[in-house]
Amino acid sequence: MRLFGKKKESKPSENIYEYEIFGGFTITRKPGGYEIMWKSPNVTTISVQTMPVISSEVQTREENGKIHVLTTDCKLKLITREGNTEAYISKI
């Protein structure tokens, strides 16, 4: 057992989560970020700090400050780095 020595530095962790969303979803601007909401069969809500990056293949419609994703088969990729969550939306 070492009592003295160099402390190991830990790398910043990065977590990646992927979801497949069928039937569309909404993105709403909230204080401190954006909220992504969909049904799967229960209502699921995820908050992110920055505007989600939406692929050009995905069809959207903006209405009253909400972005409605019209494409029915989408992949949502969440990347959490250093406490910040980023979202990427693409077509399956």
> Domain residue spans in the chain?
25-91
pLDDT of residue 24: 87
Q: What is the pTM of this model?
A: 0.80
The model's pLDDT over 37-70, given as tens digits with 9 standing for 90+, comes to 999 888 999 999 999 999 999 999 999 889 999 9
Name the E strands within the chain.
Answer: 14-22, 25-30, 33-39, 43-48, 53-54, 60-63, 66-69, 73-81, 84-91
